[in-house]
Structure 1
Amino acid sequence: MSEGFAVALALPQLAPLLILTFLSGMVYGFAGFGAALVFMPIASALIDPVLAIAAFALSALSSLFTLVPRAWGECDKTTTILMTLAATLTLPLGVWLLRVADPVLIRIAISALAALTLIVLIRGFRFSVRPGRTSSAAVAGAAGVMGGATGLLGPIVILFNLSSGDDARRIRANTLVFLTLGSLFVLPQMAAQSVLAPLAIWLGILMLPAYAFGGLAGRALFNPERERLYR
């Protein structure tokens, strides 16, 4: 493991990855989503996508201490737990796809999914289906596959939650808690399928403080009274 730490510390891409992690955490702290949309397309071009996904998932666990405690009190716990369970059931399929697919295809999928998500968010697209137990579970199940394969657990969930009638504070809390728990539960799946390398663990540990401080900075910028801006 100490060898993995030395390799992680010596990575030529470490500095840009740390800067990118901080910026991603800031976006996440503000919006409750978007960290992977910022991080994954660039990071997967700098390093192996499996390494990027695993390290980022580990660094995102800092939100369990910096962001989730407050968000947990604001989220819809029943729906969030249901969606987390549904995503957890499908994460193994996504991780399997990550393990067997060509890294070039994974990079293309990450970039395409991130670009498509940004386009539909900017254009104001929203699902016409109102959130319910069945639709919430179905959306989360699809998110689990996408998240396991590309590290982008959030896109379909973001659009789904923004379609609800909840206010900005509740939407942010629901999404933030779901995505953070997703980062927690994807790591055992990656370990079980032998794609959680020691280098990824050490790189994630090095990235963790940057994500934590970025998240706190983003949270300070969030103003629930500016509902229109958030949406």
Structure 2
Amino acid sequence: MPDLLAQTLALPGLWALVTTVFVAGAVYGFAGFGAALIFMPVASTLVPFEVAVAAFAISAVSSLVTVLPRAWGQVDRRGVAVMIVCATLSASLGLWVLRVSDLIVLRWTVIAVTASTLLALCAGWRYATSPTVAARSAIGFATGFVGGATGLLGPVMVLFQLAGRDSVATSRATALVFLTLTSLLLVPLMAMQGLLTLPAVVLGLILLLPYGAGARLGAVLFRPGLERFYRSVAYFIILVAIILGLPVWD
């Protein structure tokens, strides 16, 4: 274990990972989404893809104490619970795809999912009706599969949430609760499929503190009246992450 810790601390690009996960946490705490969108494209260029997915899931556990308590009281708990349960059920299939698929293909998938989500969010699409249980279930299943296969839990759910008519504070809180709890539930699923390796756990624990510090900072900076500003900041950082994470830079 000490040798593995030393190897991880000597990992080329570790400080880039630490910086990226801090920025990802800050955007997450500020906007309620975007952490994996920022972290995964960059991390997948520095460590094996499956290690990046598992390490990020470990680091995201810090959200239980940095952003979840305040967000918990601002959400439709029944609606969020439906999405969390469905996402957890479908994540196993996504994790199996991650385990058996070509990693280069998955990296391009990350870029494609990230870019598509960004374009949809920037387009400002909205729906006017209240989501049904069936709709929430479908979103949960889709989110879990995509999250398990690519490490990106946010895109499907965030697009669904931001396309609705909820207030900024409610949308942000719903995303925070869903993404935090679903990420936590993915950890044992990864362990069962052999994806939660010791190197990934060690890296995740190293990244836990900077991620938590970033999320706490972002939560402090959040102001409900600054919707256009906080969306613009998140979108810009996500765009930078997409560019930096392109496999063509390898």
Q: Same fold (TM over 0.5)?
A: yes
RMSD of the alignment, in Å? 1.4
Q: Distance in 1 between matches of 2:36 and 2:208?
A: 14
**Could you list the runs of 5+ residues in structure 2 that have no partner in the other structure?**
232-250
Partner deviation per Cα, 1:52-109 (whole Å, 9 max, x = no partner): 0100111011000110011101111111111100101101000000000011111111
Aligned to 1:83: 83
Q: Distance in 1 between matches of 2:84 and 2:185?
A: 9
Q: Distance in 1 between matches of 2:6 and 2:227?
A: 45
Q: Distance in 2 between matches of 1:35 and 1:126?
A: 23
Q: Are residues 5 and 226 of structure 1, via their aligned partners in 2, closer, same or farther at CA, if it must alter by over 3 Å?
A: same
Contact 2:128 2:165 in 1 (8 A): no
Q: Distance in 2 between matches of 1:84 and 1:27?
A: 22
Contact 1:59 1:208 in 2 (8 A): yes
Aligned to 1:54: 54
- Identity of counterpart residues, as a percentage? 47
Aligned to 1:223: 223
Q: Cα offset for 1:230?
A: 5.0
Q: Cα offset for 1:229?
A: 4.2
TM-score by length of 2: 0.89
Aligned to 1:113: 113
Contact 2:121 2:162 in 1 (8 A): no
Partner deviation per Cα, 1:168-217 (whole Å, 9 max, x = no partner): 11111111110011110111111000011100000000000000110011
Q: Distance in 1 between matches of 2:38 and 2:187?
A: 20
Partner deviation per Cα, 1:87-142 (whole Å, 9 max, x = no partner): 01101000000000011111111111111111111121335664121101100100
Partner amino acid, structure 2, of 1:110: V
Aligned to 2:131: 131
Q: Distance in 2 between matches of 1:197 and 1:172?
A: 32
Q: Distance in 1 between matches of 2:185 and 2:126?
A: 27
Instruction: Tell me the number of residue pairs that the alignment of Structure 1 and Structure 2 aligns.
Output: 231
Indicate whether 1:96 and 2:96 are aligned.
yes
Aligned to 2:174: 174
**Could you list the runs of 5+ residues in structure 1 that have no partner in the other structure?**
none
Q: Distance in 1 between matches of 2:181 and 2:189?
A: 13
